[in-house]
Amino acid sequence: MKAKKISQKENKKKKVLSIIFKLCKVSNNFVFDNDLVKAVSKKVGFQNHFDATKLDTKERLPIALQKEDFALIHLGGGKHQFIKDIEKIYHNFEPIGKVIDWQYKKSILNQYNTSESNILSVANNQRILHYFLFGQDKEFDNSDIVSRPKTYFPHRTKANLEYSFGKNVKIKLNKVQIEIDLTIEFQGKIGIFEAKNGKPTNFSIYQIYHPFLYYWQAKQKPELKTKIKEIVCIYVVRERQKGFDALNLYAYTFTNPQDITSIKFLKSVKYNLINQNKK
């Protein structure tokens, strides 16, 4: 019954976007706002209109958009836009490059729930994020806060962002909401983390690009220009294996910080969480 309800909800969500897309085609204006989303959602019977424009993977796009190669981007200020070329909006995960059996002792709250914050908490507490991002297997000096990585917890912020979508399209976002699952900084290197459950094959690039651009803009300020040396985006996917969980980490950056299509893959590692408590 639960699976059926989820399917019905997803179908209504796709129907909302299909109707809006059709209206945009008729008017030849592919920018729309939350008022239209709310009105169409009410007509279709989709209760959470705020969720209608959240499409983490390209499979969530309605068939009508997939056939005509359109995806959705957020412009901020309650506005959105259908834009051509799905493959430039979504990125396929690369094959895993390395597998590591990570021996650990499960604590009381490790994997207590399946939330994204718990995924990152486990990976952070086990120092997997540090090992993956900074490439150091030595112990950090925990007696000196300056000499160890600093963790900044999940937060939401709003920012004005400007960037290119390839050569011919310019995007200007007005007070767009940015969600950052976790940030780690060490010696000027900033790691931005996004986490998901399951086995997604792709992700919406703006999930990591907006936080990347947010910190890149901070780097342009005189007081931070020499302090921020590198910005890396890490996507963490928790995958259930037989008898244990695995954390798949994928690292990316952007060769042209002001172009969302310039995403560059850096590396990927699978960490099998081997619980020593069972021994």
Between CA 45 and CA 9 the distance in angstroms is 9
pLDDT higher than threshold 90 for residue 127: no
| Tokens 């019954």 sit on residue | 1
E strand spans, the chain: 31-33, 70-76, 79-84, 90-92, 98-104, 150-152, 155-165, 169-180, 182-186, 189-197, 202-204, 230-241, 244-254, 263-275
8 A C-beta contact, residue 239 and residue 199: yes
Sequence-distant (6+) residues with CB within 8 A of 274 are 101, 102, 103, 104, 244
- Per-residue confidence (pLDDT) for residue 109, from 0 to 100: 62
- Per-residue confidence (pLDDT) for residue 7, from 0 to 100: 55
Q: What is the mean pLDDT of residues 167-180?
A: 86
Average pLDDT, the chain: 88
pLDDT higher than threshold 90 for residue 77: no
Q: What is the mean pLDDT of residues 54-75?
A: 94
Token pair for residue 246?
A: 């695995």
8 A C-beta contact, residue 184 and residue 152: yes
Q: What is the pTM (predicted TM-score) of this model?
A: 0.88
- Per-residue confidence (pLDDT) for residue 63, from 0 to 100: 95
Please give the residue that has the higher pLDDT: either 114 or 188.
188
pLDDT classification of 136: cutoffs 50, 70, 90? low
Between CA 11 and CA 74 the distance in angstroms is 21
- Per-residue confidence (pLDDT) for residue 64, from 0 to 100: 94
- Per-residue confidence (pLDDT) for residue 189, from 0 to 100: 94
- Per-residue confidence (pLDDT) for residue 175, from 0 to 100: 85
The SS3 of residue 236 is strand
Please give the residue that has the higher pLDDT: either 273 or 254.
254
The SS3 of residue 259 is strand
pLDDT higher than threshold 80 for residue 6: no
Sequence-distant (6+) residues with CB within 8 A of 212 are 192, 231, 233, 253, 254, 257
pLDDT higher than threshold 50 for residue 37: yes
pLDDT higher than threshold 70 for residue 162: yes
pLDDT classification of 2: cutoffs 50, 70, 90? very low
pLDDT higher than threshold 50 for residue 3: no
Sequence-distant (6+) residues with CB within 8 A of 266 are 232, 251, 252, 253
Could you tell me the strand order of the sheet in which 31-33 lies? 31-33, 79-84, 70-76
Instruction: For residue 269, list its beta bridge partners.
Output: 98, 249
Phi, psi (degrees; rounded to nearest 5) at 151: -105, 135
- Per-residue confidence (pLDDT) for residue 91, from 0 to 100: 97
The sign of the torsion formed by the CA atoms of 181, 212, 197, 13 equals: positive
- Per-residue confidence (pLDDT) for residue 278, from 0 to 100: 60
- pLDDT above 70: percentage of residues in the chain: 89
pLDDT higher than threshold 60 for residue 266: yes
Please give the residue that has the higher pLDDT: either 145 or 20.
20
Q: What is the mean pLDDT of residues 220-243?
A: 92
8 A C-beta contact, residue 269 and residue 131: no
Q: What is the mean pLDDT of residues 75-87?
A: 91
